[in-house]
Amino acid sequence: MPLYDFRHNETGEQWNELMSWKDTKAYCEEHNCRQVILSAPLIVRGVGDLYSKTDNEFKDRMKEIKKAAGTTKPNTMDGW
C-alpha cells in the first residue's frame, strides 16, 4: 500500500499514513484533514556497482594491462 501525506485543516499539522486510495476520503472526513497532493515520488536510480557501469573497452583494457604485468595471481577481473 502507498504512503499518503495529509494536512490538518485547522492546525496545518502534516503527517503521513499508509493506506489504500479508497480509504483516504473516509480518513480525511474522520480526522478533519485534506490530502496533500503536491509531493514528489521517491525514485530509485543508480542501482549497481561501479564495475557494472563501466564500458567493455575499459574492462578489456584492464585485462590487457593485467596480462602484460606478468602477475602470477589469478585474474580477478573475470570474476566480477
Would residue 22 count as lying in a domain?
A: yes
Would residue 54 count as lying in a domain?
A: no
Work out the pLDDT band at 58, boundaries 50, 70, 90: confident
The backbone torsions φ and ψ at residue 51, rounded to the nearest 5 degrees and listed phi first, read -65, -35
Domain count, the chain: 1
In tens, the pLDDT along 13-53 reads: 888 888 888 888 888 888 888 766 655 666 766 666 776 77
What is the domain range of residue 8?
3-35
Query: Residue 11: left (phi > 0), alpha (psi -120 to 50), or beta?
Result: alpha
Would residue 12 count as lying in a domain?
A: yes
